[in-house]
Chains A and B, each alone.
Chain A
């Protein structure tokens, strides 16, 4: 029962490099989201998707791209890494709005450091 799987767990990038954080879920969830967690700021929504082929911006989308070609996968791309993107990134999924907020299942996170 894998749930939400994120890779890698840790990554160090140099300023200006690009990379993709991977997220996969095996629960057939419609909704998937990316959050970043910074000290004293809780978690902030970067991008989200309500189904395959549909994505939208969250609170802090600048510097990040997403796509959702399948129900299972929701990768997050950093186009040109900056030190301000040093953070812990969480992917989460939910079965979607069905009359009751189900709550999200979270991955274990990717700790990214940009130097």
Chain B
């Protein structure tokens, strides 16, 4: 089956710092990668996705490029804000079934 490995947290950054959260995966088929975000006390929200190799997903200043050759989908943001504090999950979708990484808790300090 598929598996997802993402950078373990927690990660603490100062406001306006650069963010990278690494995500790599192993898959038997041709999955699509996603990033989900979970704010405190809430469910998961779709942050961004990619559907084919070298696709770049972007949303709310976050970006991730689907690299098939390295089986990676790293999440980046150039300047984080306090409101970005949340848990971030990398996931693979194949036949509409999701396989999740363990999540990375991000805390941004003013």
Note all chain B residues with C-beta closer than 8 A to A105. Answer: 46
Closest to B34 in A: A103
Number of interface residues of B (CB under 8 A): 23
What's the minimum C-beta distance from A17 to chain B, rounded to whole angstroms?
25
**Is B71 an interface residue, CB under 8 A from the partner?**
no
Q: With the chains together, A48 CA to B97 CA distance in Å? A: 8
Max chain B C-beta neighbours (<10 A), residue from A31, A44, A94, A104: A104
**B48-80 CB contact bits vs A (8 Å, 1 = yes)?**
010100000000000000000000000000000
Contact A58 B89 (CB under 8 A): no
Closest to A111 in B: B41
Q: Which of B89, B93, B100 is the one whose CB lies under 8 Å from A101?
A: B93
Note all chain A residues with C-beta closer than 8 A to B49. Answer: 101, 103
Per the 8 Å Cβ criterion, residues 25-55 of A in contact with B are: 31, 33, 35, 40-45, 48, 50
In the complex, number of A-B residue pairs with CB atoms less than 8 Å apart: 62
Q: With the chains together, A50 CA to B96 CA distance in Å? A: 9
**Is B83 an interface residue, CB under 8 A from the partner?**
no
Contact A96 B98 (CB under 8 A): no
Q: With the chains together, A88 CA to B44 CA distance in Å? A: 12
Per the 8 Å Cβ criterion, residues 76-110 of B in contact with A are: 89, 93, 95-103
**Is A106 an interface residue, CB under 8 A from the partner?**
yes
B residues at A contact (CB < 8 Å): 4, 31-32, 34, 36, 42-46, 49, 51, 89, 93, 95-103
User: What 18 new A-B contacts, CB under 8 Å, besides A42-B100, A42-B101, A48-B97?
Assistant: A33-B98, A41-B102, A42-B4, A43-B44, A43-B89, A43-B98, A44-B100, A45-B98, A48-B96, A90-B44, A94-B96, A101-B49, A101-B51, A103-B46, A103-B93, A105-B46, A106-B45, A109-B42
